[in-house]
Amino acid sequence: MDLETLSVVPTLSLSRPYEALLRIHWIALLYGRVGLELALTGGVHSGKEAAKGLLAGAQVVMMTSAVLEKGPGHFRTVLEELKAFMEEREYASVEEMRGVMSYLKVAEPAALERANYLKVLGSHRLLP
């Protein structure tokens, strides 16, 4: 919205892979607790983010920005990356891997939360 003219101004900002991190975290927290199917939307650009979303508990992952940037052929690339990940770790199906890294299924959810918090703080860099 343009606040000066009070009009709608169409703009498009494509997502980036780092944007998936917070969403994956929340899916891991909510999986199995809310009685809903969860979708990872935003930040999925590769099989890596897709795998993380599914491991956290997402029913589906969406990747509009990546497809807009790289074209429809990118679906095949992401699918191949996801299949390679699954084969490497011997997952027979997406259903088998769904939620494996959710807070309901990790041995110590509180430790995972603290580790994530410390990792995020440790990764912060001050701008010059």
Q: Tens digit of pLDDT per residue, the chain (128 long)?
A: 899 999 999 988 999 998 998 899 899 999 999 999 999 999 999 999 999 999 999 999 999 999 999 999 999 999 999 999 999 999 999 999 999 999 888 877 776 676 666 666 677 676 66
CA atoms of 27 and 4, how far apart (whole Å): 38
Structure tokens at 91: 């997952």
The answer to whether the pTM exceeds 0.85 is no
Domain residue ranges of the chain, discontinuous segments joined by + = 17-123
DSSP bridge partners of 7: 2
Cβ-based neighbours of 63, under 8 Å, separated by 6 or more: 44, 45, 49, 50, 74, 78
